[in-house]
Amino acid sequence: MTWKRAALYWLGFLALAAYYRVAIDSDRPQPLASRRPFLEIATDQITALDVDRRGQRLHAERVDGSWRATTPAGSAVPSDLIGALVDSLTSIPDVEVVAETVAATDDFGLQPPAATITLARAQGAPIVIDFGQLNPTSTAVYARRSDSPRVYLLGRNLDYYLDLLLSGVEAR
């Protein structure tokens, strides 16, 4: 074998090795981009919570770092359950933004909303969250914040928390 042929083999080997290296790097899964929470508010900045769903109403306030349901009188809603709802709203990201404008709200059951949560803050205007219908696969619920025209798809656990919160509240 001549030195030219040996050099040609080495060049072919190096070209294939470089191609293989690039192909391996491009097939590696990329890390998921971190997403912002649905509400970017510190949990301790939320001072009160109003829930309204089909005539069932609940008002809760944060007293000495713990949640207490004040309306309806005598309701026995666990403070941890209210805290879990607030934590979910301020920590979990939305599943997807499904519409960018308010005009699309009829398509998602937001006109009128199936449920409304109003969060009073220590500083700033209250934030109202309207919940619509479930998505076709019943794995998430459509929602819209008062400070944004977007329609979001949120995990079903928020709807589940609403069910648990209002399970003992009679319709008025």
Residues 108-117: tens digit of each pLDDT: 888 889 999 9
What is the value of pTM for the model shown? 0.74
Q: What share of the chain is helix, strand, coil (3-state, %, to 5)?
A: 35, 30, 35
Q: Estimate to the nearest angstrom the gap between the alpha carbon of 63 and the chain centroid.
A: 26
Taking only the tens place, the pLDDT of each residue in 113-170 is: 999 999 999 888 999 999 999 989 988 999 999 888 888 888 888 888 888 888 866 5
Give the residue among 71, 61, 67 at the shortest CA–CA distance from 121: 61
HSE (side-chain half, CA atoms, 13 Å) at 111: 8
Q: Residue 145 and residue 161: Cα distance in Å, rounded?
A: 18
Instruction: State the alpha helices, DSSP H only, in the chain.
Output: 3-27, 79-91, 157-166
With cut-offs at 50, 70 and 90, classify the pLDDT of residue 11.
Answer: confident
Residue 91 backbone dihedrals phi, psi, to 5 degrees: -125, -35
- Give the H/E segment covering residue 98: strand 96-99
Mean pLDDT, rounded, of the chain: 84
